[in-house]
Amino acid sequence: MHKIYNMIERLFKKKDITSILNESKSSNNELKRSLSATNLVTLGIGAIVGTGIFVITGQAAATYAGPALTISFAISALGCVLAGLCYAEFAAMIPVSGSVYSYSYTTMGEILAWFIGWILILEYLFACSSVAVGWSGYMLSLLTEWGVDFPQQIAGATFDHAKDGWIWTGKIINFPAVFIVAIVSAFLIGGIKQSALVNNIIVVIKVGVILLFIGFGLSYVDTSNWVPYIPENTGNFGEFGWSGIFRGAAVVFYAYLGFDALSTAAGEAKNPQKDMPKGILISLAICAILYISVTTVLTGIINYKELNVPAPIALAIDSTGEGLSWLSPFIKLGAIAGLSSVILVMMLGQSRIYYSISKDGLLPKTFSKVHTTHGVPHNATIFASIITGLIAGLFPLHVLSELVSIGTLMAFTIVCISIIVLRKTQPQLNRPFRTPFVPFIPLLGATICIVQMVSLPWSTWARLIGWTILGLIIYFTYGLKNSKLNNKP
């Protein structure tokens, strides 16, 4: 009985917030604090505006919600604002790398921190991979427009998943997706300041392109494409009707993932207590407006049934004929640049999760080594790029995007619940930013996230369960034995 008690005590042992902050300030391997408030906002926009606008809008409208995808985005935005307020409190209070993983370690104990850290790895890994697949779709479309005949054997996923199970497509690998992951990783290894500068430039380009699409696309909207605004349900849950709107909201939820990625960079912000809440909430508000506007114009230009393609905005532009043909190359170049910045920020987030978990001893210490010149966790970045490139090259977009959504929703739920727990257990802590109306806002945020999780297909849950089992095996065979918190003298 005593052994069982000791085991439970070890599994749920918590990190002290004060010690985390002191460790961050005194660590010899401290990451360079180079990010200003403007950098944080543009990093948020850089991560949020990408696949959600340029790829998933079409897929979700065609298969789940129709023109009512605008409602799906609004529901997701509401959930994200509520979760974002909770994130802002944590990011200001605990300005270290690791995002929800670090927050959970202080409120729920090591085993649950490992669980959410493992889910975050799933989230960022598949987010990076899915965006790389979207990037590939736009690049191949642009190459075709330029008359370049790219070999089909290396232009698509090796495997696909249908109702009958996994199938081999006959293709070798999605080479363009692997290529962009490698290029982005090279920039990240060069340092956070360089990466932020590249991201700032790309954000200006892609937001400009999106505004051009909205502005010029409005005159080509055919309102008959919005009828019916909420297509009738097919008889299957999640295929149109209100259940389709909620499933659409769950699938596009990961489009807002950027502010979570932003919180992983808290350890590299110059003034995180003031700037992290600004970066999270401002970038989220800007992106919600852009998403809803683009979806409205997109489903107005072309019927939603035709939008299940890798490059839906490009398809909408092409469908206008000569009218907007001049805009087509700009849209494709903007999408390519925009998706590149999403990969950059998602890869940054993924490597910082490896870094944070490794610093606690739950993953090999090689992942927490920081480059002496560039001040970045280079080994974690290289590992992230290899795994991401493989997954992007082998699997299709629809499989990857659903896995990202469930990971994101679970992370947001835990953040919302953690705020309530920490307010009760440690009310004395310094909170530079306070989530308003606690516990109402955190509870509502958690509820919206849980409802959307329930709306996801069973196959997505099955993959999540498989991923969780793998994570628990790693924790009990490696993490628990090497945990710094549980092995302090």
Write out the DSSP string of 134-195: HHHHHHHHHHHHTT----GGGBS-SEEEETTEEEE-S---BHHHHHHHHHHHHHHHT-HHHH
Question: What is the helix (H) or strand (E) element at residue 84, kind and residue range?
Answer: helix 69-93
Q: Say if 319 falls within a structural domain.
A: yes
Spatial separation of the C-alpha atoms in residues 324 and 210, rounded to whole Å? 14
Q: Do the beta carbons of residue 63 and residue 302 sit within 8 Å?
A: no
Domain residues for the domain of 299 are: 32-482
- Tell me, what's the pLDDT at 159? 81
Query: Which residue type does 478 have?
Result: Y
Q: Say if 13 falls within a structural domain.
A: no
178-207 average pLDDT score: 82
- Tell me, what's the pLDDT at 29? 44
List, as own/partner pairs, every contact residues 320-325 make where C-beta atoms lie below 8 angstroms and the sequence separation is at least 24, other chains included: 320/220, 323/220, 324/216, 324/217, 324/220
Name every residue whose Cβ is closer than 8 Å to that of residue 137 and which is 6 or more positions away in sequence.
55, 309, 310, 311, 397
Percentage, residues of the chain above pLDDT 70 = 92
- Tell me, what's the pLDDT at 58? 84
Neighbours of 278 (CB within 10 A): 18
176-200 average pLDDT score: 83
- Tell me, what's the pLDDT at 127? 81
Q: Say if 412 falls within a structural domain.
A: yes
Beta bridge partners of 450: none
- Tell me, what's the pLDDT at 400? 72
CA dist 67 → 216, 241, 252, 317, 469 (Å): 19, 11, 14, 17, 38
Percentage, residues of the chain above pLDDT 90 = 18
Q: Say if 307 falls within a structural domain.
A: yes
199, two tokens: 């991201």
The residue to which tokens 């543009």 are assigned: 42
- Tell me, what's the pLDDT at 26? 53
CA dihedral over 462, 466, 472, 475, signed as positive or negative? negative
Q: Say if 455 falls within a structural domain.
A: yes
CATH (domain of 136): 1.20.1740.10
pTM of this structure: 0.80
241-246 average pLDDT score: 90
Spatial separation of the C-alpha atoms in residues 217 and 336, rounded to whole Å? 19
Is the pLDDT score of 174 beyond 50? yes
Neighbours of 222 (CB within 10 A): 11
Is the pLDDT score of 122 beyond 50? yes
The residue to which tokens 């979570």 are assigned: 260
Spatial separation of the C-alpha atoms in residues 195 and 177, rounded to whole Å? 20
Q: Do the beta carbons of residue 370 and residue 376 sit within 8 Å?
A: yes
Q: Tell me: the pLDDT tens digits for 247-270?
A: 888 777 767 766 677 777 777 777
Range with lowest mean pLDDT among 88-92, 147-151, 190-194, 443-447: 190-194
- Tell me, what's the pLDDT at 475? 94
Q: Say if 100 falls within a structural domain.
A: yes
Is the pLDDT score of 478 beyond 90? yes
Number of domains in the chain: 1
- Tell me, what's the pLDDT at 24? 60
Q: Say if 316 falls within a structural domain.
A: yes
The residue to which tokens 């590249």 are assigned: 198
Q: Say if 4 falls within a structural domain.
A: no
CA dist 30 → 21, 22, 41, 366 (Å): 12, 11, 23, 15
